Amino acid sequence: MYIHLKRMLDLILSAVALIALSPVMLVLALVVKLTSPGPVFFRQKRVGLNKSYFMIYKFRTMRTDAPKDQPTHLLKDPAAFITPIGRFLRKYSLDELPQLFNILKGEMAVVGPRPALWNQFDLIAERDRYGANGVRPGLTGWAQINGRDELPIDVKARLDGEYVRRMGFFFDAKCIWGTVFRVVAAEGVVEGEQKHE
């Protein structure tokens, strides 16, 4: 069954990526630490497999006085809280690299629905309609290559459900390839005002 192969591939891919990207991640960690006060990493409660909770890891891209557990697009002036290096990290999704550790721990997959904030009840409910809460959340997913930050909640949940229905080796490979293209092109990112994650 693919779900077991998928987990094995997640372990291999995340371990290889961590080794290969460790110099890059070290440089990014130093830059985050030296350019703004506060910790290097940001931890936040997210919704995982079967609506269990886990703490997601990211490179910190916002000031330490930014409101907690609130999607960036709901902040009154989100751009005011984003650090200078944070804009760059978010534009190219480099802030997400520490989630490779979440994948190793079994809390996430390489491909799957992006993990919702614990209090994004509307998104969680919509995903229930499509069975998208029954798979591990992903570092990237089908919704991310079809709009990223631009998608309304109902469309995002529908695409997450489509991923669950079509999940397989070649579809995962398609999502990964699409992610590389979208990230390099910085497509679908609406900085500050619409960054949901």
In which element (H, E) is residue 17 found?
helix 2-35
- Return the pLDDT at 65: 82
Which residue reads 């269990």 in tokens?
Answer: 52
Structural contact between residues 62 and 135, judged by C-beta atoms closer than 8 angstroms: no
The Cα 122–Cα 108 span in angstroms is: 21
Q: pTM for the full model? A: 0.88
Query: How big is the chain, counted in residues?
Result: 197
What is the DSSP code string of 128-151? Answer: HHHTGGGS--EEE-TTGGGTGGG-
Of the CA atoms within 13 Å of residue 12, those in its CB half-sphere come to 6
Sequence-distant (≥ 6) Cβ neighbours of residue 111 within 8 angstroms: 138, 139, 140, 141, 142, 163, 172, 175, 176
Q: What is the distance, to the nearest Å, from the Cα of residue 194 to the centroid of all Cα atoms in its chain?
A: 14
Determine the Cα–Cα distance for residues 138 and 4; give it in Å rounded to an integer: 15
What tens-digit pLDDT sequence spans the chain (197 residues)?
A: 898 999 999 999 999 999 999 999 999 999 999 999 999 999 999 999 999 999 999 999 999 887 776 666 556 667 778 998 999 999 889 999 999 999 999 999 999 999 999 999 999 999 999 999 999 999 999 999 998 667 899 999 999 999 999 999 999 999 999 998 887 776 555 544 434 44
Q: If we measure between CA atoms, which residue out of 102, 105, 182, 92 comes closest to residue 142? A: 182
